[in-house]
Amino acid sequence: MKNILIPIDFSQHSLSATRTGCFISNTCDATIHLVHVVKAPEDWEILTEAQQNRNPEIQKKIAEAELEAMKFSKLPLFESLTVIPRVYGGVPYKTILEYALAYKIDLIIMGAHGISESPQLFLGSTAQKVIRNADCLVLSVKKNFKPQSLNKILYASDFVSDGIKKSVKSVCEFAEDIKAKLDFAYINTPAEFIDSFTIEERIKKLMGIINPRKHKLFIHNDFTKDQGILNLSKKIKTNILALTTHNRKNKKNYQIGITETMLYKTNMPVLSLVMK
């Protein structure tokens, strides 16, 4: 893991994401990219200077944000780390996703919601759209999260979806980079019960990636998948939940998936990767 992107809006949420990013970077020596996006027309960055001059309010906000971002990047948190602060005008989630592709970002770390979004929302629209569309891993953290130990990851999956090998490989590499123990779980529910033999056969197909000597497999029975993940994570003392997010690009924001559900129900960081 060489590049970590942390979208910042100078709120407590982005400060929590920043603390987490610094904690991880100190383990794997990654460069931290701090990106602040001022809301502006989607094509703001390619407008001519004359065209931008027609929107002095946006220009003023960008100039103020540049000073704030530079100040933010000098916090003691970043001591001995490589930090790149950037400010852009545009549509926040699109700019974040474009930046992640352009700079080969390995991990995006986001607060659960931003300062400009309703405090009633557990997950802001920008974070939700990034989670649903990013091509890299996304780690979401809650407002008051303070990383003390990120050494045990629980990855819950059905182990059968298209693209599962890529997802498992990415999470394994992430665990290796941050020197964390990685366990796998299948949550069995009455509504979608599958026998243990079938689940184990699915896992065998991933044995080139999953090492049985390094990773444990839990088959946990519960009433619902989300409750099962929570109960198992408490039992084995997990401190990061990892989930595969199925492509929800065209889904309405109020149609939440398992990743968003877990973010609502737990204070643990949630690592997600979109399966496209």
CATH assignment at residue 127: 3.40.50.620
Question: Is 183 a domain residue?
Answer: yes
- Percentage of the chain modeled with pLDDT above 90: 69
The residues that bridge with 154 in the sheet, in sequence order, are 183, 241
Question: Is 228 a domain residue?
Answer: yes
What is the rounded distance in angstroms from the CA atom of residue 205 to the CA atom of residue 187? Answer: 18
Q: Would the pLDDT of 14 be above 70?
A: yes
What is the rounded distance in angstroms from the CA atom of residue 1 to the CA atom of residue 97? Answer: 18
Q: Are residues 134 and 156 in the same domain?
A: no
Q: Are residues 118 and 186 in the same domain?
A: no
Out of 141, 166, 193, pick the residue that ends a domain. 141
Q: Are residues 159 and 218 in the same domain?
A: yes
28-47 pLDDT per residue, tens: 999 999 999 999 999 999 99
Q: Are residues 162 and 256 in the same domain?
A: yes
What is the DSSP annotation of 85-150? EEEEEE-HHHHHHHHHHHTT-SEEEEESS-TTS-TT-SS-HHHHHHHHH-SSEEEEE-TT---S--
Q: Would the pLDDT of 260 be above 90?
A: no
Question: Is 147 a domain residue?
Answer: no
| Per-residue pLDDT at 96 | 97
- Percentage of the chain modeled with pLDDT above 70: 91
Q: Are residues 124 and 203 in the same domain?
A: no
| Per-residue pLDDT at 226 | 93
pTM of structure: 0.91
Q: Are residues 181 and 259 in the same domain?
A: yes
Question: Is 146 a domain residue?
Answer: no
100-144 pLDDT per residue, tens: 999 999 999 998 754 554 555 545 678 888 998 999 999 999 888
Question: Is 9 a domain residue?
Answer: yes
What is the rounded distance in angstroms from the CA atom of residue 227 to the CA atom of residue 21? Answer: 28
Q: Are residues 38 and 107 in the same domain?
A: yes
Q: Are residues 209 and 135 in the same domain?
A: no
Q: Are residues 11 and 46 in the same domain?
A: yes
**Can you read off the two tokens belonging to residue 202?**
């699915």
Out of 110, 141, 172, pick the residue that ends a domain. 141
Q: Are residues 172 and 104 in the same domain?
A: no
Work out how many domains the chain is built from and give that number. Answer: 2
Out of 107, 141, 175, pick the residue that ends a domain. 141
Q: In the structure, what pLDDT confidence band is assigned to residue 244 with cuts at 50, 70 and 90?
A: confident
Q: Are residues 156 and 27 in the same domain?
A: no
Q: Which range marks the domain in which residue 246 is found?
A: 152-275
Lowest mean pLDDT among 207-221, 238-252, 262-276: 238-252
Q: Are residues 58 and 89 in the same domain?
A: yes
